[in-house]
Amino acid sequence: MSIKKEVKPLEKKSLRTKFFVNSPAQFSFLFLLLVSILVPVLFVGGLVYFLIFTILAYQQTVPDSIGVNIYPIITKTNIAIILGFIPLFLLIFAWGVTLTHRFAGPLERLRGEIDNAVAKDDFKSRLSVRKRDYVKPLVDSINRLLDKINTMKTSS
């Protein structure tokens, strides 16, 4: 036995109030975004450290003046990576939540409206979305399908 929540039709000029929709699609999009951020960052960071430690390994054969000059560079690199990565990660995460919400929010609401129409056997109602939603072409196609189903039901 499943409990289905009632989804209200979209009112004009309604704003999204939740940024985390209980939707697997949003979490999948967000996960892909975070992985696509972390993999290159970790790869480039690993290469930078490989370069730095390779230079330090050869320090015994290089004069001490070069080794003394490299140590402050390593310290500044660590500080730049730490201080730069955290706000950048938070900024990209916030942007990712916003983008995934623009995809997953309308999909979740659309799924709820379709479930309500099917449960009520109401093929006269139409699905509604905002003008700028990315799923508008899909909703228009579903509404045309509902029109055809409604026409077929009334003619038979």
Q: Find all residues with CB under 8 Å of 93, minimum gap 6, and list them.
A: 34
Contacts 24+ apart (CB under 8 A), 38-46: 41/85, 45/81
pLDDT digits (tens, 9 = 90+) for 61-96: 656 666 677 777 778 877 887 888 788 888 888 888
d(CA 142, CA 2): 24
Band of residue 22 on the pLDDT scale cut at 50, 70, 90: low
Q: Which two tokens stand for residue 83?
A: 């201080």
Q: Which two tokens stand for residue 81?
A: 């990576």
The 3-state DSSP class for residue 1 equals: coil
Mean pLDDT, residues 47-73 taken together: 71
pLDDT digits (tens, 9 = 90+) for 107-150: 888 888 888 888 888 778 888 887 777 788 888 888 898 888 88
Give me the residue spans of the domains in the chain: 24-155
d(CA 105, CA 113): 12
pLDDT score, position 28 = 79
Mean pLDDT, residues 2-31 taken together: 61
Q: Is the pLDDT score of 3 beyond 60?
A: no
Mean pLDDT, residues 42-69 taken together: 72
